[in-house]
Chain A
Amino acid sequence: MKLTLKIWRQKNADAKGKFVTYDFDGASPDMSFLEMLDAMNTKLIKARIDPVAFDHDCREGICGACGMYINGHPHGPGKAITTCHLSMREFKDGDTIYVEPWRAKAFPVVKDLIVDRTAFDKIQIAGGFISTNVGSAPDSHAIPVEKRKADEAFDSAVCIGCGACVAACKNASAMLFVSAKISQLALLPQGRIEATERVQAMVNKMDELGFGNCSNTGACEAECPKEISLVNIARLNREFYFAKIQ
């Protein structure tokens, strides 16, 4: 496949970035998008051009490291996949492909397609946990959990923290990300104890870090590689209001 790649190049956080065009003639439909970039980088390295930097690790859609804005979509075309699972079968010979980093105030660009997502960690540190010490747990069956709720908690817990929701949102809101964790823990009896404090701490931290608000367009849900549902945001709001009036 012959491709024209327009890739965002930016030396570091302070430098000004720009699109650079690469004509690349070495892709095949059997490749994943990242393998295609690897192949292109090999060419750049041999030509003594600085290769395009991007985050990636597990390459099986679970670590959440990779994330590029491809042709106007986080993780590119295709539903419910990460960039590493994006196949070149989705493109055709002669295509022009635009590749950008996540764009959000809270995710500054580090280099090229790498952004700094430590803001996500900071939100989790603010309260995304159940305070239980090692060794203090009762037998797992001491507290039964309704299967329906356990399954729902699991569906919220599959978030991989990639940041596609923020990148997709016109407000760069982290509501889907935050609500997934809030929901998981709010649905389980073990998590109810700290629910009031947790939701306030995490929401406050989210606001403080410069993420925008939610205006219910649903772009986050549509682009989430793990199909985290908007229902989580509704639950977050409910938890938050209850916490406020308590």
Chain B
Amino acid sequence: MTKLDAKIPEGPLAEKWTKYKASAKLVNPANKKKLDVIVVGTGLAGAGAASSLGELGYQVKNFCFQDTPRRAHSVAAQGGINATKNYKNDGDSIYRLFYDMIKGGDYRSREANVYRAAEVSNDVIDHFTAMGVPFARDYGGNLDNRSFGGVQVSRTFYAKGQTGQQCLLGTYSSLNRQISQGTVTMYPRREMLELVIINGKTRGIITRNLITGEIERHSAHAVVLATGGYGTIYYLSTLAVNSNPSAAWKAHKKGAFFANPSFIQIHPTSIPQLNEYQSKLTLMSESLRNDGRIWVPKKKDDKRVANDIPEDERDYYLERRYPAFGNLVPRDVASRAAKERCDAGYGVGKTGLAVYLDFRDAIKKQGEKAIEAKYGNLFELCRIITGINPYKDPMHIYPAGHYTMGGLWVDYNLMTTIPGLFSIGESNFSDHGANRLGASALMQASGDGYFILPYTISNYLADDIKTPRISTDNQEFEDAEKSVKERLEKLVSINGTQTATSFHKRLGEIMWNYCGMSRNEEGLKKAKQMLKELKDEFWTDLIIPSDLNDVNQELEKAGRVADYFEVADLMVDDALNRTESCGAHYREESQTPEGEALRDDKNFSYVAAWEYTGELKPYKLHKEELKFVDVEVKERSYK
């Protein structure tokens, strides 16, 4: 049986990574050329890792399902990227960012990993600046910072509301440089459909060429998954519609433990759904909460136009409930508070499922120009999508599925429980605990890809230098390819009457209602049953075009939805198991008399890592106990 060992280096927290780097095994340049690494995904983590490994001299094969690596979903991150530069002289430090992440994650993340993420954050910013990422600057020519998402220092670097785009295009440029030098080979429009393990080590993947339909074998000495999260499980989400968990899920079924699957962040400020065909909910960056005030009418079902409602009839419920942090409370707190108001009948808009985000006071104080400089593109986006002009009328916002803290379990080396399989960025579970701090996703993804994985993977590959290039002409690849083909055949042969999207929509509804912002035992058990029934219906009544040797976007969707049924099932199991409330995971049975989340440190201070034991068999729970040495575990209060 696999035993969980996080392999955290000995020594004081602040010295662990330095010591690790000093003692990690190295691979000499001549040997690096003989070692192949597969990286799946081209977001900040994947493309960062591919270019960094390419620079070191490894032979890298980089895969993405998009037509070009520049479209990976990191591109859509808006608000910013944290680093502990302390350029504002406001008392920031590595320790403070570490502390904020641990606290924000509600004490459900691993100290050593989190500290390291904070530690490399400055290197990330320096690297991006050197690559020509045009971060916002002040008039002295230095980089500007803003405060972001529930912290008291200004440590967030940004490029208007397009920080993710600028960081990703910087990373894409470093990837291109390695492609030009021949160290990285790019495989776009490929979807990973299986992982190949030979003699206990990860040795390759099976992909489908999304243009020709060809099933391909790719081998390497190690495989890195940088495949993002599974936020689209709710159907309605802020993610790109093609984002999916399938690669990570295949790895899970081959033996990689999946950790804390129920930890999924609901973002408080997205544009509400406008029609039933819509699955994509556009995010309005939470940086807006720095200047926007969130409110609902004090009267139920108040049908007046927002601007006609006088000041004393508005309920600024976040400022009222959380005077210290006000509109800047963490995402889960803001999301639940919005849901609470709407469920109680104070919601606004056509559906009653929205609250106001109002810039009236900020514009009065700072002027329209200053607000435009900060949020111009977001205001424009809001106007294009909804027709509301936020300079005049408040935006409508509502929570939406966003970021998954859960993911593949990894140790300090970012290696999963399968030797030679690494997982970085959002696809792993490691740094954000039960809730992610704003502007730390770009930071962690880039840190993992550029500055952490290159050391840890070298440490692993140092023992593999005598292994020649891996052949794809063997039984393991044969079997993997066969199982992939069989599954595709099975999907196209169902020949029923309902589309993959319609199943996804219904699956999403179940998850949103019973395993979303707030959960309880009865609902979760009900969800489990409903999921089972819907899954059976899927496998008997799906309809997709049958052509396997052509562009077949419905087949792509169907494969992902099929996996989602299984991910959803595990998510529900995890949410059932964790009877405490923590971070984004809110169990109604575990709350304070005031209705705030109540943690149960005595029984749940662990990472829940789930092992797949076979089709229709129960998952096996492994616990990684969390030890907090450098922070005092406290109640997470934002009052």
Which residues of A come within 8 Å of B, CB atoms? 11-12, 28, 30-32, 35-36, 38-39, 42, 45-46, 48, 50-51, 53, 55-65, 81, 85, 87, 89, 110-111, 114, 116-118, 120-121, 124-141, 143-147, 150-151, 153-154, 157-158, 160-161, 184-185, 188, 190-191
Contacts and interface: CB of A to CB of B under 8 A. Distances in A.
Contacts of B136: 150, 154
A134 B166 CA distance: 17
26 contacts: A30-B275, A35-B278, A45-B545, A46-B543, A48-B545, A51-B545, A53-B551, A58-B75, A60-B283, A63-B75, A65-B67, A111-B211, A116-B67, A117-B67, A121-B176, A125-B180, A127-B180, A132-B127, A134-B55, A144-B141, A146-B141, A154-B159, A157-B169, A184-B134, A190-B130, A190-B132
Contacts, number: 207
Contacts of B173: 124, 128-130
A190 B71 contact: no
Given A128-B173, A137-B123, A63 B166 contact: no
B535 interface: no
Contacts of B274: 30-31
A158 B165 contact: yes
Contact of A147 (B73, B138, B177, B543): B138
A10 B135 CA distance: 42
Contact of A157 (B52, B166, B384): B166
Interface in B114-160: 123, 125-127, 129-132, 134-143, 159-160
Contact of B68 (A53, A118, A126): A118
B283 A114 contact: no
Interface string B359-397: 000000000000000000000010011010000000000
Interface residues of B, number: 78
Given A58-B240, A62-B76, 10 more contacts: A30-B274, A31-B275, A32-B278, A45-B499, A59-B280, A130-B173, A139-B126, A147-B138, A147-B139, A190-B131
Contacts of A147: 137-139, 141
B241 interface: yes
Contacts of B283: 60
Given A134-B451, A161-B70, A140 B129 contact: yes
Given A46-B497, A62-B76, A63-B71, A51 B553 contact: yes
Q: Which 4 A-B pairs have the closest CB atoms?
A: A144-B141, A137-B130, A129-B173, A59-B280
A197 to B, nearest CB: 12
A45 B551 CA distance: 14
Contacts of B387: 89
Interface of B: 51-52, 55, 66-71, 73, 75-76, 85, 87, 123, 125-127, 129-132, 134-143, 159-160, 162, 164-166, 169, 172-174, 176-177, 179-180, 186, 188, 211, 240-242, 274-275, 277-278, 280, 282-283, 381, 384-385, 387, 450-451, 454, 497, 499, 501-502, 543-545, 547, 550-551, 553-554
A28 B275 contact: yes
Contacts of B240: 57-59, 63
B241 A56 contact: yes
B550 A111 contact: yes
Given A60-B280, A128-B176, A85 B385 contact: yes
Given A39-B277, A46-B543, A55 B67 contact: yes
A107 B250 CA distance: 34
Nearest to B157: A140
Contact of B211 (A50, A110, A184): A110
B550 to A, nearest CB: 7
B499 A57 contact: no
Nearest to A54: B553
A191 B129 CA distance: 11
Nearest to B69: A121
B92 to A, nearest CB: 15
Contacts of A35: 275, 277-278
Contacts of B275: 28, 30-31, 35
Contact of B165 (A53, A62, A132): A62
B493 to A, nearest CB: 14
Residue of B55, B68, B283 with most chain A CB atoms under a 10 A cut-off: B68
Contacts of B134: 150-151, 153-154, 157, 184, 188
B164 to A, nearest CB: 8
Given A53-B551, A57-B241, A140-B125, A129 B177 contact: yes
Nearest to A56: B241
A144 B242 contact: no
Contact of B51 (A30, A39, A42, A134): A134
A51 B71 CA distance: 23
B211 A145 contact: no
A129 B162 contact: no
Nearest to B280: A59
Contacts of A28: 275
B384 A85 contact: yes
A153 B52 contact: no
Given A35-B277, A45-B544, A136-B130, A63 B172 contact: no
A87 B384 contact: yes
Contact of B75 (A62, A114, A126, A143): A62
Nearest to B126: A137
Residue of B134, B159, B186 with most chain A CB atoms under a 10 A cut-off: B134
B162 A45 contact: no
Nearest to B166: A157
A154 B551 contact: no
A61 B282 CA distance: 10
A76 to B, nearest CB: 13
A58 B162 contact: no
Given A28-B275, A51-B545, A157-B169, A134 B553 contact: no
Contacts of A116: 67
A58 B76 contact: yes
Residue of B51, B123, B551 with most chain A CB atoms under a 10 A cut-off: B551
Contacts of B126: 137-140
A45 B558 CA distance: 13
A127 B173 CA distance: 9
Nearest to B173: A129
B123 A135 contact: yes
Given A51-B553, A53-B551, A65-B67, A134 B280 contact: no
B177 A118 contact: no
B55 to A, nearest CB: 5
Nearest to A29: B275
Nearest to B278: A35
A130 B141 contact: no
B170 to A, nearest CB: 9
A118 B125 contact: no
B407 to A, nearest CB: 21
B132 A153 contact: yes
A65 B277 contact: no
A57 B211 CA distance: 16
Given A35-B278, A63-B71, A118-B67, A57 B129 contact: no
B142 A124 contact: no
A8 B471 CA distance: 43
Nearest to B162: A158
Contacts of A89: 387
B27 to A, nearest CB: 16
Given A121-B176, A150-B136, A130 B130 contact: yes
A38 B68 contact: no
Given A38-B277, A190-B129, A45 B139 contact: no
